[in-house]
Amino acid sequence: MFEDFTIRDAKINDLSTIISIYNSTIPSRMVTADLEPISESSRLQWFTNHSPRSRPLWVVESQGEICAWVSFESFYGRPAYDKTAEISIYIHQNFRGRKLGTYLIQKAIDACPMLQIKTLLGFIFGHNEPSLHLFSCFGFEKWAHLPNVAEMDGIERDLLILGKRIT
């Protein structure tokens, strides 16, 4: 099944599709704290901060169509945290529910030694039970609980930080 998917480093001309997939998750209020769609120009610096050798941004293709993306981002921006990265996975709505998230988390974990990452973090809303379950299946544990730190549509939401040491 997963042989139908190709993972590659993102190119600048992929940015519009990356943003489109991201923006499609905003209305659910499950995945991101953005409340309105974002623009390509607002994410250009974010895009250029990625590096294939240490903090990649991957796109996932199926039959030539980008159907998901995976981002590794530096945690806290200070040198002592260089071995720690935050992982984000966003999947096109037509490809959700097909175990693609499971496949991509495993690929990310497998890439960590090459990327010199010893700790992976996931920042997940407390009400996003599917993502919490997915990450816990890979041994991610709750390392922090930030109660009521996000407010969306008048509802306060918790943020959980899940962590996993990569050995």
pLDDT value of residue 2: 66
Residues 6+ apart with CB under 8 A from 133: none
Q: What residue spans define the domains of the chain?
A: 2-165
Gap between the Cα atoms of 144 and 163, Å rounded: 9
The per-residue pLDDT string of the chain (167 residues; one tens digit each, 9 = 90 and over) reads 667 899 999 999 999 999 999 999 999 999 999 999 999 999 999 999 999 999 999 999 999 999 999 999 999 989 999 999 999 999 999 999 899 999 999 999 999 999 999 999 999 999 999 999 999 999 999 999 999 999 999 999 999 999 999 98
Q: H helices then E strands: how many in the chain?
A: 4, 7
pLDDT value of residue 1: 64
pLDDT value of residue 69: 98
Instruction: Report the predicted TM-score, pTM, of the whole model to 2 decimal places.
Output: 0.95
Q: Give me the torsion for CA of 131, 89, 64, 113, rounded to 10°.
A: -120
pLDDT value of residue 77: 86
Helix 129-137 and helix 100-115, axial crossing angle in degrees, nearest 10: 50
- 102 in helix, strand or coil? helix
pLDDT value of residue 151: 97
CATH architecture under which domain 2-165 falls: 3-Layer(aba) Sandwich (3.40)
- 133 in helix, strand or coil? helix
Give the residues across from 7 on adjacent strands. 60
